[in-house]
Amino acid sequence: MKLAFSTLGVPGTALSDVVRLAAEHGYHGVELRTHPEEPVHTGLGRAERAAVADEFKAAGVEILALAGYVDVAAPGDDAPVLAEIGELLELARDLGAPYVRVFPGGGTGQSPEEADAVAARRLGTAAEYATDAGVRVLLETHDSHRTGADAIRILGPVGHGQVGAVWDVMHTWLGGEEPSETFAALSPHLGYVQVKDIASADDTAPLPLGAGVLPLAECVDVLAREGWDGWLCWEYEKRWYEDAAPLPALLGPGHDHLARLLNDSV
């Protein structure tokens, strides 16, 4: 498996420093938080996009995914949602990133059936754009659809190879789903896995990997046992928790922890 980290852990950090941190600590790739306050966003011009792609390529670090903030199940018109997905797909294509992350984001006042249907309809349409761009749209296990069983209610009806899933291990754990159950639900659709650690269900501030309660070893064991050979991406949510320890000093130990889990699972 390949290892990556998310720039959510180093908000606002210059890309040159992100690339350096990845290379220095042995990470194969980076998930880029794609937001106007970050160095990479959909407003970049063509020359800027080419410069970003070149910087990562020169360092031998891959851009794993663009972590967007589209809520595909949210109430309202389809057009703005599809337009935002389209912009993310174009940016991913230009940067050479294989994946774009989206959220479910089902809203209050919706029944689960309505949220499922809205998200499936939009992702079915987005699959056509994704095919043209050569990029996959991945639905994260999050918010209104935090487990694999929830996500598959959307992904099953879509049934398209360019639409898949991101397994966020915290949300499936919070949803009471065992790692083996999550993998069974998502395995035909799985793009990559987001790993992290927290103190408890009531305290989700980010901790160093291995310092909390999330079943990371069990997740890695399930993936290895099933022969899955994709990406593990450390999503350290420093952006939302200012008091959390800075990520750069944790990257080396975090890499070593994941490497031990992978070695022990063989």
Handedness of CA 215, 217, 222, 228 (dihedral sign): positive
Q: Is 182 exposed, middle or buried (0-12, 13-18, 19+ CB in 10 A)?
A: buried
Distance, in Å, from the CA atom of 261 to the CA atom of 266, rounded to the nearest integer, reads 9
Distance, in Å, from the CA atom of 262 to the CA atom of 266, rounded to the nearest integer, reads 7
Distance, in Å, from the CA atom of 129 to the CA atom of 82, rounded to the nearest integer, reads 9
- 8 A C-beta contact, residue 66 and residue 29: no
Q: For 33-82, what is each residue's pLDDT tens digit?
A: 999 999 999 999 999 999 999 999 999 999 999 999 999 999 999 999 99
Task: Kindly state the tokens that stand for 116.
Answer: 């499922």
Q: For 177-224, what is each residue's pLDDT tens digit?
A: 999 999 999 999 999 999 999 999 999 999 999 999 999 999 999 999
| Model pLDDT, residue 265 | 79
Domain boundaries of the chain, sorted by first residue: 2-265
Q: For 149-160, what is each residue's pLDDT tens digit?
A: 999 999 999 999
Handedness of CA 192, 166, 259, 184 (dihedral sign): negative
- 8 A C-beta contact, residue 91 and residue 42: yes
Q: For 49-59, what is each residue's pLDDT tens digit?
A: 999 999 999 99
Cα 108 versus chain centre, distance: 24
Long-range contacts: 255-262, Cβ < 8 Å, 24+? 255/3, 255/25, 255/26, 255/27, 257/208, 257/209, 257/210, 258/3, 258/195, 258/209, 258/220, 258/232, 258/234, 259/3, 261/216, 261/217, 261/220, 262/1, 262/220, 262/224
> Is pLDDT of 247 > 90?
yes
| Model pLDDT, residue 126 | 98
Mean pLDDT of all residues in 14-25: 97
| pLDDT over 90 percentage in the chain | 97
Q: Do β-strands 136-140 and 29-33 pair in parallel, antiparallel, or remain unpaired?
A: unpaired
Average pLDDT over the chain reads 97
> Is pLDDT of 169 > 90?
yes
pLDDT confidence bin for 266, thresholds 50/70/90: low
pLDDT confidence bin for 9, thresholds 50/70/90: very high
Cβ-count burial 110-141 (b if 16+ within 10 Å, e if not): beeeebbbbbbbbbebbbebbeebebbbbbbb
Q: Class for domain 2-265, per CATH?
A: alpha beta
Which residues touch 183 (CB under 8 Å, ≥6 apart)? 148, 167, 190, 222, 223, 226, 228
Mean pLDDT of all residues in 83-107: 97
- 8 A C-beta contact, residue 252 and residue 25: yes
3-class state of residue 88 by DSSP:
helix
AA letter at 142: H
Q: What is the DSSP secondary-structure string of 220-255?
A: HHHHHHTT---EEEE---GGG-TTSPPSHHHHHHHH
pLDDT confidence bin for 108, thresholds 50/70/90: confident
- 8 A C-beta contact, residue 102 and residue 119: no
Q: For 138-151, what is each residue's pLDDT tens digit?
A: 999 999 999 999 99
pLDDT confidence bin for 262, thresholds 50/70/90: very high
Mean pLDDT of all residues in 160-168: 98
